[in-house]
Chains A and B, each alone.
Chain A
Amino acid sequence: MRRTTQGGILVGCGVLFVIVWEIRSALGLLAGVDTNPQLYMLLTLAVVGLTAVALAIGLIGLRPEPPADEDAQ
């Protein structure tokens, strides 16, 4: 099974949250689409949360366990 480390999930979900949330600004400024802020935030959190869960249970994944020397730095 593909496994993503907890660190990988944390970093990935942090970046994903910022990207998805900032798309709202792009939609508003560039396309003139005024999305509902509460709904958009819920949607953002849902996307990030589902991604985190999917990564944690191995439904989606990036790679097998990282090399053993990862913690050596």
Chain B
Amino acid sequence: MSEQLESGAPTFLDKFPDEAAVVRAALWSSFIALALGAVFGLIQALHRTDVLRLIDSTDYYTVLTAHGVLMVVSFTIFFLVGLFTWATVRSFDRGVESIRYTWTWYGLMVAGTLMAVVAILGGFVPQTDISADVLFTFYAPMQAHPLFYGGLAIFVIGTWLAGADYIWTWRAWAAENPDERIPLQGFMVLTTMLMWYVATIGIAIAVVAFLLPWSLGLFDQINPLLTRTLFWFWGHPVVYFWLMPAYLLWYTVLPTIAGGRLFSDPLGRVVFVLFLLLSTPVGIHHQYVDPGIAEGFKTIAMTNTMFLLLPSLLTAFTVVASVEHGARQRGGTGLLGWLRALPWRNPAFTGMMLAGLMFAAGGFSGMINAGMNINYLVHNTIWVPGHFHLTVGTAVALTLMAATYWLWPQLTNRRLYSRPIGLAQVVIWFVGMGLMSNAMHVQGLFGIPRRTAEPQYEGFDFVASFGSVSELNLQLAIGGTLLFISTMLFVTNIALSAGTPKLSGIGQPLSEPLSTVDDSPEILDNLKLWFGIALVLVVLAYALPLASIIDRGGLLGPGVDPVPMIVEPVAATIEPTLGRLAAAVGSVVP
């Protein structure tokens, strides 16, 4: 095994030991959050399906909040900052400007996470008034302890400083290489962080200006719709903040593992620019049933959301083309026969491919969510968690775990403890998610709600159009259990890797794209331009809805009245006009 791993090239650890320590710390923070989140996820899946009840239903929201926050804030974003630190340093081929600064933002993120987690877990301790049973979607009127909001704020500040670290490294590199194009991984990191700066405007205002002072008792009340809209200002682009690291891995690491080269560097840049532009002005599609936002604004959000399919479809094409190139380099032939030549025994490759396959299914259910009319069928049903367990729960999570199997030796100079266990782990995840997500989608179509410990409350049964609800519950519970087992296999495999012998020369250089950066227009690298356009699009999408909400409810108002359908004011304007016209016609025509 070691002979096969040894390429003779230095690893990331060999070249940048200080930065590798930060990346390892960030990844371990991520894995700890993943393991804890998985425990809460298992409790939740077994409780909700009534298979095994370890908690009171009154604690369900504490469990649900812990699962959500640990998984989609801590696991994903700690991994992101670790991965982006690796990608920045690797692609610019230079260390960070100040390792003390880098540890500072990491420390802030850890402190923020601990604060938020303490606030959430306080919900299990009735003797204390600390609790944060507000779910991951922590908008008003549900209120958390100030520790929760303060922790989130510090965590986000940590990410801002991480982004500044990457920009600092880029600027230092650019000063020494004024005529060079930004390397692809660096470009992906920078566009992602610029998108994050735009997106977090909403959550920063919501938390710092409203939720935190409200929880501290400085305000008696706040405008729920305003904070809810500000949450979703951030709440949708955060989806892409989770996804873009996975895209970075699919574009830049997966082709190498497949034995080939990225099909097109320019297409990769276009995709990341599109995400920077389009991720944020779409959040209102999460508010289709909110009564305080006019239908016209929701229609605009829906249209913008559909545009987001473009970069995903471009990615599907580019990644599959790159993998096919790799297969053909390995001797694969035929229309589909090349699939046989791929390294399916490699858990890093197989995990990322299975994640991509699941992402395609998640994309289809996402289109249902994004369509205003059919969204009403599934809104707030368990279909929605079924959808995002395919996207963030598999496309992102499984990609990050699979990529770890490739990345970890680069950060530690040690081989993976067991590749067969790694392979079994990614397959178990795929099967577990197939079962759980399928059950969730089908139950959602039967109208079964999400976010509840007791979906079938006393005296009421949902009607299954085929099979039975209890059968789907069992399927969900089995799927959730498999996911838990898979997570534990992953974390254990990585932990045991620390006991394997040290190796040298096991670096894995990434292959160059087939179509290089020289084929792309230089304007793609004009980050100021794209950042400016992104801000303009956000203003266009949000200025009027926010102004309308504030105008009718006030900054701290109790809420706003329902807004009439857009056709009603139009009809109110047209009807008198038609009446006058008819009267005029009547007076002329006898």
Interface residues of A (CB under 8 A from B): 5-8, 10-12, 14-15, 17-18, 21-22, 24-25, 27-29, 32-35, 37, 62-63, 66-67, 69-73
Contacts and interface: CB of A to CB of B under 8 A. Distances in A.
B466 A71 contact: no
Contact of B340 (A27, A62, A71): A62
Nearest to A40: B467
Contact of A29 (B256, B357, B465, B468): B465
B438 A21 contact: yes
Interface string B424-443: 10011011001100100110
Given A18-B430, A21-B434, A28 B423 contact: no
**B interface, by DSSP: helix, strand, loop or mixed?**
helix
A50 B330 CA distance: 29
A22 B349 CA distance: 24
B155 interface: no
B526 interface: no
B68 to A, nearest CB: 25
A18 B5 CA distance: 33
B168 to A, nearest CB: 32
29 contacts: A5-B345, A7-B344, A7-B423, A8-B345, A11-B344, A11-B423, A14-B428, A15-B354, A18-B430, A18-B434, A18-B435, A18-B438, A22-B434, A25-B438, A25-B442, A25-B466, A28-B465, A29-B466, A37-B468, A62-B340, A63-B341, A66-B341, A66-B343, A69-B330, A70-B343, A70-B346, A71-B1, A72-B5, A73-B349
Given A22-B438, A71-B345, A72-B5, 20 more contacts: A7-B423, A8-B344, A10-B424, A11-B354, A11-B427, A12-B344, A14-B431, A18-B435, A21-B435, A25-B438, A25-B466, A29-B445, A37-B467, A67-B330, A70-B345, A72-B4, A72-B7, A73-B257, A73-B406, A73-B508
B471 interface: yes
A34 B463 CA distance: 13
B415 to A, nearest CB: 11
Contacts of A25: 438, 441-442, 466
A27 to B, nearest CB: 8
A72 B258 CA distance: 11
Given A8-B344, A11-B344, A22-B434, A71 B4 contact: yes
A71 B3 CA distance: 10
A33 B427 contact: no
**Which residue, A11, A21, A62, A73, has most C-beta atoms of chain B within 10 A?**
A73
Contacts of A73: 256-257, 343, 346, 348-349, 406, 508
Contacts of B441: 25
Contacts of B442: 25, 28-29
Interface of B: 1, 4-5, 7, 256-257, 259, 330-331, 340-341, 343-346, 348-350, 354, 357, 406, 419-420, 423-424, 427-428, 430-431, 434-435, 438, 441-442, 445, 465-468, 471, 508
A11 B438 CA distance: 19
B431 A18 contact: yes
**A interface, by DSSP: helix, strand, loop or mixed?**
helix
Contacts of B256: 73
Given A21-B434, A71-B4, A73-B406, A33 B343 contact: no
A7 B341 CA distance: 13
Contacts of A5: 344-345
A45 B2 CA distance: 37
A34 B350 contact: no
A64 to B, nearest CB: 10
Contacts of B345: 5-8, 66, 70-71
The 7 closest A-B pairs by CB, nearest first: A28-B466, A7-B345, A18-B434, A14-B427, A34-B466, A63-B340, A62-B340
Contact of A67 (B331, B419, B424, B427): B331
A60 to B, nearest CB: 12
B107 to A, nearest CB: 34
Contacts of A63: 340-341
A25 B442 CA distance: 7
A1 B441 CA distance: 42
Contacts of B445: 29
Contacts of B438: 18, 21-22, 25
A31 B465 CA distance: 11
A17 B430 CA distance: 10
Contacts of A24: 467
Nearest to B406: A73
**Which residue, B465, B466, B468, has most C-beta atoms of chain A within 10 A?**
B466
Nearest to B7: A72
